[in-house]
Amino acid sequence: MTPPELVFKSRRVVLPEGVRAAAVRVKAGRVAEVTDYAAVPTGPSVVDLGERVLMPGLVDTHVHVNEPGRTEWEGFATATRAAAAGGITTLVDMPLNCIPPTTTLEGLHAKAESVAGRSLVDVGFWGGVVPANRGELSRLRGAGVFGFKCFLVPSGVPEFEAVSARDLAAAGEVLTKLCAVLLVHAEDAERIASDWTGPPNSYASYLATRPPLAEISAVEGMIRWCRETQARVHILHLSSADAADAVGEAKREGLPISAETCPHYLTFTAEEIPSGATEFKCAPPIRERENRERLWKALAEGAIDLIASDHSPAPPARKSRQSGNFQEAWGGIASLELSLSAVWTGACARGHSLHDVARWMCRAPAELAGLAKHKGSLAAGLDADLIVWDPEASRPVVAEELHQRHKLTPYAGRILRGVVEATYLRGEKIYERGDFPGEPRGEILLA
């Protein structure tokens, strides 16, 4: 059924050229035109938002949904409810933590079957590069994956193995021909301490095992690989500001490389993490306060291109919260619903604008996934994926009210700024103030 024609008016519309008063006309699920605020009269088809912000729906290109195979960790029904409540209208699912992983055509088909009829938002897929699946890469790309992810260190699950230099060399030839981006979990296994020194419930003990040099060394290696192959490289979840500096230098050289960081690296600091608070464990780790401020600087200067959630949930038992043992705990942070508020809270404190946030969380992720002709901006011809939110409102994070499957999150109790009031997918409302009207309307997106 075709959604009705609507016009959204706001005195703060986040457009590609900046923030201004405007009216956005939506027809047949797309933005038909953007006009002056005063040019549109009131009427039953006009939604006048006043001072509330109208912005493109967020595009989150780093989400671990875990279905099929580990749906008890998360799943498309719960993950996409959380996404919609957080203003995310498009997510791209990572190829691991599901069983089977998205490293074969059969794995991709199993993933697509899991999405059908369950997703509130649009969903795309990354494929995986693992040892011995070189022959699958062309098949996966032909079937619509947006690109490929690999690990340079053990991933934490046995069915998604880390790649060697030989594996990367073999994959590079294929990826260059396919014009496909390689997403890299960039840590150097030789720089990660195998011996645990210090109390296992101390965050400092965990942090010491994964020093900044592990990221820097791996990123520098991928820069060399990028230079040799000219294949496009994207560095995932950068936590080391020194590694971000290396990416910035490679960009100035003209190499086809980009990078992301995550809300948790921009929000938390190692100094504040309590003993036993394993909900903060992730890899690479959350680093010190000075490093966090340098990550914000790297974002502002363009060394880091975008912000993605790296939503990686697990059952509370896997996080070892009762024992508080960082050594045993699963490394992953659950925050899908909170990304916009967390980033906006930090951005406000540092003088960044709504337009900056839209660039980092809407347009740049859409460009990474090759979706910028359809998603990530409010412009004529693009999908009418919209969020209405109040950037001045604040509220505490109540974990039990989150829509993700498991409620454990390091944001619990934190006061965040910015409240999403409504989310629209192709002009149809999919979320409003805690409610999810209608049936799941999310589509599978293919490259």
Structural domains in the chain? 57-368 (3.20.20.140)
CA distance 93 to 125: 5
- Which pLDDT band holds residue 318 (cuts at 50, 70, 90)? very high
The mean pLDDT value for 38-61 works out to: 90
What average pLDDT does the structure give for the chain?
A: 96
Q: What is the C-alpha separation between 261 and 257, in angstroms, rounded? A: 14
- List b or e across 365-389, with b for residues whose CB sees 16 or more CB atoms inside 10 angstroms: bbbbbbbbebbbbbeeebbbbbbbb
- Whether 4 has a pLDDT exceeding 80, the answer reads no
Q: Which residue has the higher pLDDT, 73 or 40?
A: 73
pLDDT band at 44 (very low <50, low <70, confident <90, very high): low
Query: Residue 1's pLDDT band (boundaries 50, 70, 90)?
Result: low
- According to the model, what pLDDT value does residue 21 have? 97
Contacts of 213 (CB under 8 A, 6+ apart): 188, 191
Residue length of the chain: 447
The distance from CA 51 to its chain's CA centroid, rounded to whole angstroms, is 28
| Residue whose token pair is 């974002």 | 299
Q: What is the mean pLDDT of residues 429-440?
A: 94
Q: What does 78-123 look like in DSSP terms, one character per residue?
A: HHHHHHHHTTEEEEEE-SSSSSS-TTSHHHHHHHHHHHTTT-SSEE
Residues 62 and 308: their CA atoms lie apart, in Å, by 6
**SS3 labels along 365-407:** HHHHCCCCCCCCCCCCCCECCEEEEEEEEEEECCHHHCCCCCC
Which of helix, strand or coil describes residue 296? helix
The whole-number pLDDT of residue 3 equals: 67
Judge whether residue 214 has pLDDT over 90. Answer: yes
Which CA distances in Å does 341 have to 51, 199, 294, 315? 18, 34, 20, 24
- Between the alpha carbon of residue 114 and those of residues 75, 98, 102, 107, 379, the distances in Å are 9, 11, 12, 11, 32
CB 159 within 8 A of CB 132: no
* pLDDT of 197 over the 90 cut: no
**Conformation bin of residue 254: beta by default, left when phi > 0, alpha when psi is -120 to 50:** left
Residue 302 has pLDDT above 90, yes or no: yes
Q: Are 401 and 412 in contact (CB under 8 A)?
A: no
pLDDT tens-place string over residues 238-283: 999 999 999 999 999 999 999 999 999 999 999 999 999 999 999 9
Q: Which residues contact 320 (CB under 8 A, 6 or more apart)?
A: 278, 326, 328, 329, 330
% of the chain exceeding 70 in pLDDT: 98
Cβ within 8 Å of residue 158, ≥6 positions away: none
What is the structure's pLDDT at 2? 62
For residue 290, the number of C-alpha atoms closer than 13 Å in the C-beta half-sphere is: 2
What CA–CA distance (Å, rounded) separates 8 from 164? 51
Is 213 within 8 Å of 239 (Cβ atoms)? Answer: no
138-156 residue pLDDT tens: 999 999 999 999 999 999 9
* 43 band by pLDDT with thresholds 50, 70 and 90: low
